[in-house]
């Protein structure tokens, strides 16, 4: 009995020592201020970024000593869903506790605003109107009024705001966000338009942007984007209609049910009833789509393509080849 009592006391001491040791390490890791390398670090938290992603970023740059404790602390305090997207300036010395408090107080130094490629102007405006911590001066503007405020002379706002992440100060206006995105798109367009392929059919950068928007909606495969650009470019040069489905859908966007008969409805965006490019872009194109639009290849034989599923596209030189592809991949 005495032997068991001695063992019990020994086990108790070991557990106590272990607890004290754990508490010391935990306390040191969580509460002791650690010097930030170079005395400054800019933490970027993207929209919907995971706690793991933030922890990995901080750990890789030696801002925190233990990413698992950082993640566990956020979840223990139920703050893992309170991390606001934005830019945080971390300076001098900070403890893990300080950093957790900093990124969950809802006040980033700069707010993260992200425009996604493929978005329509309606999606862009709904997103901006729903942003908190900025001043909303354009919420009740029509597209024409917003276009006028931005001094945009294009026929539509569609596709004009470059898809990227922008950082704005709290209480900055929504108009300033639109200005940043518009100017960046103009800069990218100008750069790529001056380097466009000699076989391209564009007479101005806006036409190239419109082409890029069609490419964006047709495929997400970067290599196929160049071939889609080539097909569309060839069809315009040879006097063929583009027959681009996404453009037709865009022109019918207020029609709930689109059927085969819908393709006979003539709108400015119906590339089955009209020749050439539609009058405006149909979405925000990605940078890759704009690059592809600027570089159609010198392959005049390519005139057809067909989306065959799983992100793949079948390209054909003749209508008979194209029809065979339809029978093989779609009629199944």
pLDDT digits (tens, 9 = 90+) for 72-122: 888 888 888 788 778 888 888 888 888 888 888 878 888 889 999 999 999
Cβ pair 64, 96 in contact under 8 A: yes
pLDDT (0 to 100) of residue 267: 94
User: Tokens for 16?
Assistant: 């106590």
pLDDT (0 to 100) of residue 2: 47
pLDDT (0 to 100) of residue 163: 97
The full set of domains in the chain, from first to last, is: 29-103 (3.30.1490.480), 116-191 (no CATH), 198-330 (no CATH)
pLDDT (0 to 100) of residue 23: 57
Q: Which residues of the chain have pLDDT under 70?
A: 1-13, 15-29, 47, 310, 327-332
pLDDT (0 to 100) of residue 21: 64
pLDDT (0 to 100) of residue 13: 66
């Amino acid at each position: 009995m005495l032997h068991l009592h001695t063992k019990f006391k020994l086990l108790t001491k070991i557990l106590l020592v272990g607890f004290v040791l754990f508490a010391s390490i935990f306390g040191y890791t969580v509460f002791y201020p650690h010097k930030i390398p170079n005395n400054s670090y800019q933490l970027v938290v993207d929209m919907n970024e995971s706690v793991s992603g933030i922890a990995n970023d901080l750990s890789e740059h030696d801002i925190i000593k233990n990413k698992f404790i950082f993640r566990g602390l956020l979840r223990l305090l139920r703050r893992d869903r309170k991390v606001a997207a934005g830019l945080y300036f971390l300076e001098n010395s900070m403890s893990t506790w300080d950093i957790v408090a900093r990124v969950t107080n809802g006040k980033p130094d700069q707010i993260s605003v992200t425009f996604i490629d493929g978005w329509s102007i309606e999606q862009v405006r709904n997103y901006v109107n729903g942003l908190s911590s900025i001043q909303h001066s354009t919420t009740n503007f029509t597209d024409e009024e917003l276009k006028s405020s931005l001094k945009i002379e294009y026929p539509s706002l569609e596709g004009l705001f470059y898809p990227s992440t922008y950082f704005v100060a709290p209480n900055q206006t929504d108009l300033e966000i639109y200005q940043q995105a518009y100017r960046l798109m103009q800069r990218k367009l100008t750069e790529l338009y001056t380097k466009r392929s000699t076989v391209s059919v564009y007479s101005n950068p806006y036409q190239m942007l419109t082409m890029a928007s069609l490419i964006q909606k047709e495929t997400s495969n970067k290599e196929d984007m160049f071939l889609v650009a080539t097909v569309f470019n060839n069809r315009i040069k040879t006097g063929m209609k583009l027959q681009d489905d996404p453009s037709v859908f865009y022109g019918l966007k207020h029609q709930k049910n689109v059927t085969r008969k819908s393709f006979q409805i003539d709108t400015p965006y119906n590339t089955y009833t009209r020749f050439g490019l539609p009058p405006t872009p149909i979405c925000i194109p990605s940078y890759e789509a704009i690059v592809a639009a600027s570089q159609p290849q010198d392959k005049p034989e390519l005139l057809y393509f067909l989306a065959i599923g799983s992100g793949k596209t079948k390209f054909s030189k003749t209508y008979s080849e194209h029809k065979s592809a339809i029978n093989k991949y779609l009629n199944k």
